[in-house]
Structure 1
Amino acid sequence: MTGFEPTASPFQRGKRPPSLRQWMAPAIPGNRLVGWLAPLAVTLFAGVLRFWDLSKPRAVIFDETYYAKDAYALLKFGYEHNTTKKADQLLLQHPRNTHIWTDGGSFVAHPPAGKWLIAIGEWMFHMTPFGWRFSAALIGTLSVLILARVARRMTRSTLLGSAAGLLLAVDGMHLVTSRTAILDIFVMFWILAGFACLVIDRDRTRAALARKIGETGNESDLGPFVMHWWRIAAGLCLGTAVATKWTGMYYIAAFGLMALIWDIGARRAAGVRQPYAGGFALDAIPAFLSLVVLSGITYIAWWSGWIFNAGGWNHPKTAGNPISTFVQAMPKLLEYHRQMWHFHTTLTVKHSYQSWPWNWMVLKRPVAFFYTEPSGCGAAKCSREVLSIGTPAIWWVSIVTLLVMVGWWLVQRDWRAGAIVAGFLAGWVPWFYFGFGHRTMFLFYATPMLPFMVLSIVLVMGMIVGPADALPARRMLGAAAAGAYVLIVLANFYFLYPVLTGKIIPYDAWHARMWFDSWI
């Protein structure tokens, strides 16, 4: 489970502070069985939160008006199809309603992978609110398990891993996007899954590298070749992320560079005489093939419904031979992508809930997915809302903990801090370019950043708890501080829960949860 980690020389120990693992791992140990049972318990809790009353509100909320219908069209035609103006009402009248289609393929702004996943729920539970939200709830729940396990692997602490899963489970925006048929939770899931595969690969290949050098000696200046099997899985995951939303491309670039740095570091730690040459010669090309080429193949595969079915946008005809069909479709698909890129780069229509990336971390402008003022709460005026907003106790604290990660990486060059910063920046910085161009964007676009924000918090929690050889009073105080923070997060989430899940509450109770005018 621990993988290969080099032992620092006495000179290094005298000159460098302890690594995050040296600092945290002795503090909060865990065993293998508990290492699965505790994350599974947190995942079960997350699943209850996401599946409870999933069919409510019984309405097509926010962008479900696009993605739920596009997913249904994929089931019926293999590509997105035009719908009637009254499609939303028709879908809610009967779960098997098929009278929503007009002629012709529909132009869509995003690739089909996320919509195919939404379609699985519609195939299982028909075209109902529960059906089109099922896959998002399942994927959101599974992402909690993945984060808990990857955090445990990074910290070697079951308690910290479970804390990471719990924090993700009770983040407001993660909950809302897990209960809504939109694409962002799927992008986050596949990016997180790809990251988890890379972390596993790092442990496995460092152990294999150490074993090979131990068996054969350092016969080559470059070191031995090691097969990175888990990077193949990472390539499949990241290709699916891009096939859901193009923002996944930035993670391929960031994670590819990160993986190469890890490879060079592993060779240097193992005593290879030319670690940089060995990394570029033996690791760079396989990494490119698995993280870039395989991701590209995966991306194209998700378009197969459009490629092999006539009638999609810009694809009116198809040949009988699959190979000929594929060859003929590629120029049309390329032109389709040019049109999609033009749409994304020129989308400057003002929206009442739009926000800019420099405002996301402070939660300046959340998005109301659904709002009505029904009766039935026992007050003169009632409110019912689904507000896509992160839990402030997580988001605001993560601003500090991410800065701590930056500082720790600059001082220590610890791979965990660097990986967290890379994952966060890959989901945040690219939006600044579009923000300066005034492209329309929303707070929930930050969903892929969330796991890395949570990881930064739990690593700092581990520092606060302290190492095993610290004074008992110091560790007790640190554990109390970390536990108190988790309780604050839970209380904050509980307070916001009614406006995250569309509960009918008195207007005054709703307004008390709108801490700033910009939240309304």
Structure 2
Amino acid sequence: MLATSRWVRWGAPLAVVLLAAGLRLWNLGAPHALVFDETFYVKDAWTLFNNGYESTWPADANPQFEAGQTEIFTTDPSFVVHPPLGKWLIALGMNLLGPGNPWGWRLATVVVGVLAVVLIMLIARKLFQSRVLTLIAGFLLAIDGHAIVMSRVALLDNFVMFFALLGVGAILMDRQWHATRLAGRLATLPDTGWGPALWWRPWLLAAGLAFGLTSSVKWSGLYFLAAFGIYLVVVDALARRRNGVTFWISAAILKQAPATFLLLVPIAVTTFMVSWTGWFVTRGGYYREWADGVGAAWTGPLAWVPHSLQSFWHYQAAAYTYHVGLATPHPYQANPLTWLFMIRPTSMYYRGSSAGEFGCQFQTCSEAVTSVGNPLIWWAATAALFYLVYRLARYREWRVGFIMMGMVAGYLPWLMYLNRTVFQFYTIAFEPYLLLGLTFVIGMVLKQIPELSRPQHRLSAHSQVPEYDPRPHAGAPTAVAVGLGFTLLLTVFFFPVWTGMQTPFAFWQLHIWMPSWR
């Protein structure tokens, strides 16, 4: 009996992780080609590793690079608009396995893709206090096609997802840390009307570091820092109200918020700056010597700022201008309003062939890498999301609020850029929160979250939650098991078009469920 319990506790999560690893590592080197934006990030990563900054390549360098001629880059700087951390991570894999090896290109993204499955299970365990829901959350991320594809291509967004999720996990850990110590301090202090400011919050330092790493991959990491910074102020205000602090709003904003800011933001900014070390310690990076040009340096009160920092600021301003103004039409661009419904998934790679060509054994063949998610997972998660918006508004449950903040940070800012050229694959940044939302709803069906009926587990003790019955509805476990089983079958069905397997053209057509999926 003890051995069985131990297997359930450790063996089942390990099986989920091994499943995730197998789906992501299988034939990782295919296709042996720079797919989609790998053409930028892989080559940038290799020049970053060799020069300390991203430099240019000859025209039409991809065929030569794919053939193993990886040292044909120049020392001329290249204008890149994303921070360097993600490219440094890609470069580590290339240095380990060789720059001409596609496994090397994709090693770092596949590692963080598997680690993300571990991380979402740890967060689910802390959030839901249920082993069943822990396994379900990990299983959903392990088998979803979008997560699989983004772990198998050397793009930056998988790193954004992972580091942001790391920061969100640290915020979750701080929630209990903060609540326990605030209550303890209030019990020993005289009533000042405001309560104390808590300065020792190590999980906030960890969150600041994680969000700094996120921002060091892509600027969109700043949205997570800002969103969860606001979230922390709200959580502190509600905790003070629950503990009877008289001026709980002003205490949260004027007393604790400055301390929270200093715990969270400086380490994030420092981390971001450190990620640019290669640019600072070399002289060849783009705009590296801009301030040394005639008439370029700042004058007046800011003239004392070192030229390197002036040049860095100019570079960041130019990158920001590029980001907000990017409106170049692309065949796979997708309006953010359509992301949740998976209207226009990104085709990362496609190669058609005829009989005898590239080993094709049918009349016509297809090889595709398409970042379309498992349809049942995505559409069920989207439905769950809309339900959770309603549930948060009505019952103000803290778990729902926490999950929704992940969506706010990862998705909501993109609604400001409806006319910008953006892509469906950006959704990997907030996919974990979609899946946690779906897991929450599954937990309600299975009655795995009994704390929902208790006031101390809600944002407001005044919210009215229906009478709770701890018994699952008849047939609910079977229905959930059948649904998860069918989801796994869909993963098997779609797996070839996620991984570049050569299939008959007719088989590929069976996966085009909407005309916009072509």
Tell me the TM-score normalised to structure 2 length: 0.88
> For the Cα contact (< 8 Å) 2:351–2:366, is it kept in 1?
yes
Match of 2:229 in 1: 256
The answer to whether residue 35 in structure 2 is matched with residue 52 in structure 1 is no
> CA–CA distance in 1 between the matches of 2:484 and 2:72?
47
> CA–CA distance in 2 between the matches of 1:108 and 1:384?
30
How has the CA–CA distance of structure 1 residues 77 and 189 changed in structure 2, closer, same or farther, with 3 Å as cutoff? Answer: same
> For the Cα contact (< 8 Å) 1:311–1:317, is it kept in 2?
no
Post-superposition CA distance 1:461-487 (Å, at most 9, x none): 011112678475x44422222222212
1:161 deviates by 1.4
> CA–CA distance in 1 between the matches of 2:113 and 2:305?
34
Match of 1:190 in 2: 163
> For the Cα contact (< 8 Å) 2:17–2:114, is it kept in 1?
yes
Match of 2:433 in 1: 452
> For the Cα contact (< 8 Å) 1:140–1:174, is it kept in 2?
yes
Match of 2:14 in 1: 40
- The correspondence of residues 82-481 of structure 1 with structure 2, limited to 5 A, is 82-94=56-68, 97-127=69-99, 128-214=101-187, 216=188, 219-226=191-198, 227-316=200-289, 327-374=306-353, 375=357, 376-435=359-418, 438-466=419-447, 470=469, 474-481=472-479
How has the CA–CA distance of structure 1 residues 318 and 35 changed in structure 2, closer, same or farther, with 3 Å as cutoff? Answer: farther
> CA–CA distance in 2 between the matches of 1:46 and 1:416?
26
2:374 is matched by which residue type in structure 1?
T
> For the Cα contact (< 8 Å) 1:59–1:129, is it kept in 2?
yes
The answer to whether residue 491 in structure 2 is matched with residue 493 in structure 1 is yes
Q: Which runs of 5+ in 1 are unaligned?
A: 1-29, 320-324
1:243 is matched by which residue type in structure 2?
S
1:460 is matched by which residue type in structure 2?
V
Aligned length: 480
1:457 deviates by 0.2
> CA–CA distance in 2 between the matches of 1:205 and 1:289?
16
> CA–CA distance in 1 between the matches of 2:237 and 2:351?
56
2:62 is matched by which residue type in structure 1?
D
1:275 deviates by 2.6
> CA–CA distance in 2 between the matches of 1:278 and 1:515?
54
3-state SS of 1:386 partner: strand
> CA–CA distance in 2 between the matches of 1:410 and 1:333?
44
> CA–CA distance in 1 between the matches of 2:11 and 2:47?
40
> For the Cα contact (< 8 Å) 1:167–1:394, is it kept in 2?
yes
Question: Identity rate of aligned residues, in percent?
Answer: 35
How has the CA–CA distance of structure 1 residues 280 and 54 changed in structure 2, closer, same or farther, with 3 Å as cutoff? Answer: same
- The correspondence of residues 11-50 of structure 1 with structure 2, limited to 5 A, is 37-50=11-24
> CA–CA distance in 2 between the matches of 1:255 and 1:317?
35
How has the CA–CA distance of structure 1 residues 499 and 106 changed in structure 2, closer, same or farther, with 3 Å as cutoff? Answer: same
3-state SS of 2:475 partner: helix
Post-superposition CA distance 1:142-162 (Å, at most 9, x none): 011111110111111111011
> For the Cα contact (< 8 Å) 1:381–1:506, is it kept in 2?
yes
> For the Cα contact (< 8 Å) 1:308–1:318, is it kept in 2?
no
> CA–CA distance in 2 between the matches of 1:414 and 1:455?
14
> For the Cα contact (< 8 Å) 1:39–1:149, is it kept in 2?
no
1:414 deviates by 1.1
1:455 deviates by 0.7
3-state SS of 1:105 partner: coil
Match of 1:61 in 2: 35
3-state SS of 1:102 partner: coil
How has the CA–CA distance of structure 1 residues 231 and 264 changed in structure 2, closer, same or farther, with 3 Å as cutoff? Answer: same
> For the Cα contact (< 8 Å) 1:145–1:165, is it kept in 2?
yes
> For the Cα contact (< 8 Å) 1:405–1:420, is it kept in 2?
no
1:168 deviates by 0.9
How has the CA–CA distance of structure 1 residues 514 and 410 changed in structure 2, closer, same or farther, with 3 Å as cutoff? Answer: same
> CA–CA distance in 2 between the matches of 1:37 and 1:221?
50
CA RMSD of aligned residues (A): 2.3
> For the Cα contact (< 8 Å) 2:75–2:284, is it kept in 1?
no
Match of 1:503 in 2: 501
3-state SS of 2:56 partner: strand
1:293 deviates by 2.5
Could you tell which deviates more after superposition, 494-503 or 246-255?
246-255
3-state SS of 1:349 partner: coil
1:66 deviates by 0.5
Post-superposition CA distance 1:30-68 (Å, at most 9, x none): 999965554333122211111121111111111111000
Could you tell which deviates more after superposition, 216-225 or 63-72?
216-225
How has the CA–CA distance of structure 1 residues 89 and 188 changed in structure 2, closer, same or farther, with 3 Å as cutoff? Answer: same
3-state SS of 2:361 partner: coil
1:125 deviates by 1.0
> For the Cα contact (< 8 Å) 2:85–2:275, is it kept in 1?
yes
2:511 is matched by which residue type in structure 1?
R
How has the CA–CA distance of structure 1 residues 245 and 260 changed in structure 2, closer, same or farther, with 3 Å as cutoff? Answer: same
2:415 is matched by which residue type in structure 1?
F
Q: Which runs of 5+ in 2 are unaligned?
A: 293-303, 451-467
